[in-house]
A = this chain, B = another copy of it.
């Protein structure tokens, strides 16, 4: 079990107080968060810092970006072994129309999608919308 400090350093990210806090915030969340969510959690910090921190995490493959169709970009921590950059590893995301939360269905991989001749598939974004387990009451 490596510490957060070790994880950041292994990705060539300088360890700062801000970054540790933001990492912990993301780790504690079970759902994908927007930048506003982060802002609300750290009201003393500046918008830009939070923005750039998350962007740094994204560049270094610590978080992945999620476009769930709400028009607002969300972010979630990559799990161990989450190779977001590899197409075949892409998992799908579920957006709840009721509570408006988006979660990673990490163990649900995206099926192979056929595209017409001449088209080259490099990336797939799949978002299922509906009602999540908490809201469906099941």
A residues neighboring B (CB under 8 Å): 67, 69, 71, 73, 92, 94, 97, 105, 108, 111, 113-133, 136, 138
Residue of B nearest to A129 (CB): B123
What chain B residues lie within 8 Å of A127 (beta carbons)? 124-126
A129 → B minimal CB distance (Å)? 4
Interchain CB contact under 8 A, B138 and A117: yes
What chain B residues lie within 8 Å of A113 (beta carbons)? 92, 108, 111, 126, 128
Interchain CB contact under 8 A, B119 and A133: yes
In the bound assembly, the distance between CA atoms of A122 and B94 in angstroms comes to: 11
Give 13 pairs: A residue, B residue, CB < 8 Å, sorted on A: A69-B125, A97-B122, A108-B116, A111-B113, A113-B128, A116-B133, A117-B133, A118-B132, A118-B136, A120-B131, A120-B136, A123-B129, A125-B127
Interchain CB contact under 8 A, A108 and B114: yes
Interchain CB contact under 8 A, B119 and A136: yes
Interchain CB contact under 8 A, B130 and A123: yes
A109 → B minimal CB distance (Å)? 11
Interchain CB contact under 8 A, B121 and A128: yes
From B117, B126, B129, give the contact of A122 (CB < 8 A).
Answer: B129
Interchain CB contact under 8 A, A118 and B133: yes
Interchain CB contact under 8 A, B124 and A129: yes
From B71, B116, B126, B130, give the contact of A126 (CB < 8 A).
Answer: B126
